Amino acid sequence: MVLETPNNPAHPVFAFAIRDGVLHPGGCDIRSLAQRAGPGGFYLYDAGLVRERLAALRQAMPADVRLSYALKANPFTPLLRLMRHLVDGFDVASCGEMAAALATGMASSAVSFAGPGKDAREIAAALAAGVRVVVEDIGEIDDIARLSRELPLARPPRLALRIHPPFALKQAGMRMGGEATAFGIAVDEIGAVVARARDAGIDIDGLHVFAASQSLDGSALGELHERTAELMITVAETHGLHPRWLNLGGGYGIPYAEGDRPLDLSAVMAGLARACDRLRGHWPDAEILIELGRYLVGEAGLYVMRVLRRKRINGETFLVTDGGLHQHLAATGNFGQVLHRSWPICLPEHLPEGIARSRGEPERGEERVWIAGRLCTPLDVFARRIILPRIMPGDLIAVCQSGAYGASASPNRFLSHPPPVEMLVG
């Protein structure tokens, strides 16, 4: 029997199939998947949930807006092969990501290469591949001009300017605008960059703004799209640019902690539609796109660990697992969070009662526990004093919302444990 429970605002595990109290991501019994993965923490990504998220987003988006997937969120190869058929392009930030994107068969014209620290080798590789280079510094123009002379390029460089926005989205996990960051080109420096490009005979036909990440405020994100469109219009008119490629960024978040509400996508899309109307009034034939990562794949992923030991220390119960921050840094709160809040955690063999909570008092058969990883550092803690049914060594623990910034964003070589197994199911 599949347990039917709404996922808004229910615990995220109920987005997955549950049969007879056992989680079945992608239709597969999690106990069998754990056996296949072997010892150590492992990741599961449910392809069906990814498809559902993309279908819902496509239905809500303006029809003429394109969608780019940011590989930094999750570059797992089978997942990229799936995304190749669901999105319109890829955003990359290294030669490794670019190679992975192109290996899926995605057209080079649909790949953009951003990042504040691109070196000449990376720029040369992108130019040779026909990938769009998102320029973030005047020095990149000099490199592009020199490499265009030296390399036998099959086509002229495809370039965009990344604008450092003078505004920020305050309710966001990370901000890339409105304050000093390394991203993009300040508005008062754009004139010098454009002049340098024109002196070198280089055509810039794109604009890119990415102001924030991990926001759950739909109205604020919609307004951000509108402000971004106005900024692009002002910059283009001021400097005589005629863009054919306009990347409005993203920043759409997913709920992680108790009390987080899912993003109101309708509010975001209303602002995006207004932004597109403004841009179409200036450039009717321009390609307009948004760039998303976490929002597309984050909720489709699970990180699964086994309990190795139960310990009592100073009156506290610790469940020590075979996982750790070396495999999932973000879930331990060590990926830029100021205040650590436990991610949604469950016992995937004991549902629906096996849902962790942080409030209230333990009921009969429950206990208050810490969940720690296996590493030799006090930072390796997934949860503090959460309430769960009593479990024993060998039982599984799953961390939800783990489809983005998990395995590839963690220090896999720390303490020389093996990297986690990853699986795409369904």
Q: What is the 3-state secondary structure (H, E, C) of 258-326?
A: CCCCCCCHHHHHHHHHHHHHHHHHHCCCCEEEEEECHHHHHHHEEEEEEEEEEEEECCEEEEEECCCCC
Last residue in a domain, options 243, 278, 297: 297
Whether residues 255 and 304 fall in one domain: no
Domain that holds residue 377: 12-46+299-425
Alpha carbons 98 and 118: distance in angstroms, whole number:
12
Whether residues 20 and 104 fall in one domain: no
Closest CA to 211 of 275, 163, 276, 159: 163
> How would you label 122-154 residue by residue, b for 16+ Cβ within 10 Å and e otherwise?
bbbbbbebbbbbbbbbbebbebbbebbeeeeee
Alpha carbons 392 and 310: distance in angstroms, whole number:
7
Whether residues 350 and 397 fall in one domain: yes
Q: What is the pLDDT along the chain (426 residues), one digit of tens a residue?
A: 233 343 345 799 999 999 999 999 999 999 999 999 999 999 999 999 999 999 999 999 999 999 999 999 999 999 999 999 999 999 999 999 999 999 999 999 999 999 999 999 999 999 999 999 999 999 999 999 999 999 999 899 999 999 999 987 765 444 444 456 888 999 999 999 999 999 999 999 999 999 888 999 999 999 999 999 999 999 999 999 999 999 999 999 999 988 889 999 999 999 999 999 999 999 999 999 999 999 999 999 999 999 999 999 999 999 999 999 999 999 999 886 655 788 999 999 999 999 999 989 999 999 999 999 999 999 999 999 999 999 999 999 999 999 999 999 999 999 999 999 999 999
Last residue in a domain, options 275, 297, 319: 297
Whether residues 284 and 165 fall in one domain: yes
Whether residues 266 and 392 fall in one domain: no
Whether residues 260 and 376 fall in one domain: no
> CB under 8 Å to 91, separation ≥6 — which residues?
68, 69, 70, 71, 72, 111, 112, 114, 291
Tell me the whole-structure pTM to 2 decimals.
0.93
Whether residues 373 and 226 fall in one domain: no
Alpha carbons 386 and 409: distance in angstroms, whole number:
25
